Structures are given as C-alpha cells and as structure tokens.
Amino acid sequence: MATALFLTERDEMYYEDLAQPDGRVVNPPAVKGRIITTITKAKEIRPYVEKCITLAKKALPHQRAADKLACEHEKGSDAWKKWRDGEGWQKWNQAIAPAVDYRRRAFAMLRDKEAVQILFDDIAERFENRPGGYTRIMRLAKPRLGDAGTRAILELVGERDRTVQKSEKPSFAAEASKPAAAAAAAPAAAAVASAEEAPKSPKGLGFDNLKVVEGIGPKCEEALKAAGIDTWKALADSTPEKISEILTAAEGNFSGQVPTTWPEQAGMAVAGDWDKLEKWQDELDGGKPADA
C-alpha cells in the first residue's frame, strides 16, 4: 500500500494507451498522492511511508554532490572511458555511495523500482525543507460496504493544504493623496492621532470624555456638550462662572454642582498629568474643595 501511494505520483503520460489484458482501459488516479483504505490500515502505513520519505531526503545532498562530479560525456565514449579509469570516477563513486545505500534500503521496504525512483526523484525534493509530518489521515463519514469498516484517506501533504487567507485591509493612503480627500480627512485623522497619543486616564475613560473630571456625571456632561463644551480643551478654556450659567439654563437639577475646579482638572487632563490629577481628586469632595 505504501508502494501504491507513491505510484499515484506517476506522470499522466504513463496511462496513455494503457489497458488491462482483457482490454479495459486503465485510468490515472483521480487524485495524486492519495489512497483510500481503512482507518486502521492508514494508521499502520503512515509511519512506514514517512520512513521511506526520510530515507529519500537523506540521499539528496549526496546525490547533488555526486552530480557535480559526474562525467558530462556520453557513456561509452573515449572521454567517458578516460574519466572512468581516472581519479574523477573514484571521487564520484565515493560521493554517490551513500545515496545508493539509501535507495537500496528504500527498495527493501517497497520492493518496486519505479516507486523508489518516484520517491527519490520527485517526492524527496518536495519535502526537503519540511522537518516531518509528510502525510495526513482524514476519516471518511461513509463506512465501507460489506463489513461497515471505517474508511479513511491517506495522502501526502503539501498539495491540498488548507490555508487561511487574510483579507487585506483597505488602504487609505491612496485616497489621502487626493487634495479633497486629504482636506476632509485631516480633522478626523488629527483627532484619532490625539486619541492614540493621549495617556489613558486613571478612570479608564476614553479621550475627551468629560466624566474624567471629578463632579461631572452623565447628565452634566450632556448639558455641557449641548452648550458646545465637548472636549477637555474646551472645558479647560472655560470658567466656573460660565459653566454655572450653562448648568442653570439647562434642563435638570444642577443646583448642587460647584464647578470651581472643573477647568483646572480639565487642564491637567489635556496635559496628561494623570498622577497629579488623581492625587488632587482624592482630596476633593464631589469635585469641590474639601474646605468649600
């Protein structure tokens, strides 16, 4: 069965005009490098096949070294005979000897010269850079007729490997090169860059989230954003008096809010002084100074 697996790698020209003694045409295998058997036999054959491939891989460097020393003249010619009787043949013979030994060991396992030739000439180079795992077993859902044995596919890897194709993310570099697109994208890009470069707040809040200021809650933040104060910078540039006017005019009860420290807290957020801000907020009482 190991021999049959390697013989599936024959060239398709081999099957031209090939027929059995009774006249039936012999078709090439549907899939090269694959045989179907029972799951038990596949598990038994697998280490046998991989050992044969390992032998073929070990012969590759010796074969290549011998090819460099081989005679380029036609066999039987005067030049070839001169090379054969000289030192060149001795060096070639020493180089090819290990490769011949590996071929003989593989033939002792497979007992088929054609299978050995395919193994050493074609399959070995395919797995030269692979450290192991030359075959895979895939269980088939449909059992074998007659004895209901579990069937499986034993095949050589590398030809039908499943690969995960990563989708390419859209590139905005080309669009940014256009003047109109660049002008439109500049503010958004600047905001994203600022968000990425800004240090993370101790509360884990995002960039320009007003709730990083002690004393500002969701309702208060909504009222400030409605009035145009939607960034740390805008809040830092404002005054406690202006903030109080905004909260007084907004819907809701903000009478208990004392924004005397809010602009200064926002300024620390803009500067990224999180340690200083966190230490100060520990001393505040709901955003108000402890002695207020």
Final residue before a domain boundary, out of 94, 126, 156: 156
Q: In whole angstroms, give the CA distance from residue 139 to residue 145.
A: 15
**Each residue's pLDDT tens digit, 4-32:** 999 999 998 899 888 989 989 989 999 99
Residues 152 and 14 in one domain: yes
What was the pLDDT predicted at 2? 96
Residues 149 and 19 in one domain: yes
Residues 208 and 147 in one domain: no
Residues 228 and 99 in one domain: no
Write the CA distances from 85 to 77, 95, 239, integer angstroms.
12, 17, 104
CATH number at residue 130: 3.90.1030.10
Q: In whole angstroms, give the CA distance from residue 219 to residue 216.
A: 8
Residues 126 and 232 in one domain: no
Per the CB < 8 A criterion, the answer to whether 45 and 155 are in contact is no
Q: List residues bridging with 154 in a β-sheet.
A: 35, 137
Q: List residues bridging with 155 in a β-sheet.
A: 34, 136
Final residue before a domain boundary, out of 123, 156, 189: 156
Secondary element (H or E) of residue 35: strand 34-38
Write the CA distances from 262 to 97, 120, 236, 265, integer angstroms.
87, 79, 7, 5
Residue 120 DSSP class: I
Residues 26 and 121 in one domain: yes
Per the CB < 8 A criterion, the answer to whether 30 and 142 are in contact is no
Asked if residue 261 has pLDDT above 60, the reply is: yes
The range of the structural domain enclosing residue 242 comes to: 201-292
Residues 227 and 284 in one domain: yes
Section 120-146 average pLDDT: 94
Residue 175 is assigned to a structural domain of this protein: no
Residue 186 is assigned to a structural domain of this protein: no
Residues 17 and 146 in one domain: yes
Residues 127 and 55 in one domain: yes
> pTM of this prediction?
0.55
Residue 88 is assigned to a structural domain of this protein: yes
Section 59-76 average pLDDT: 94
Residue 98 is assigned to a structural domain of this protein: yes
Residues 221 and 152 in one domain: no
Q: List residues bridging with 288 in a β-sheet.
A: 285
* Mean pLDDT computed over every residue of the chain: 84
Count of structural domains within the chain: 2
| Burial (CB count <10 Å: 0-12, 13-18, 19+), residue 42 | buried
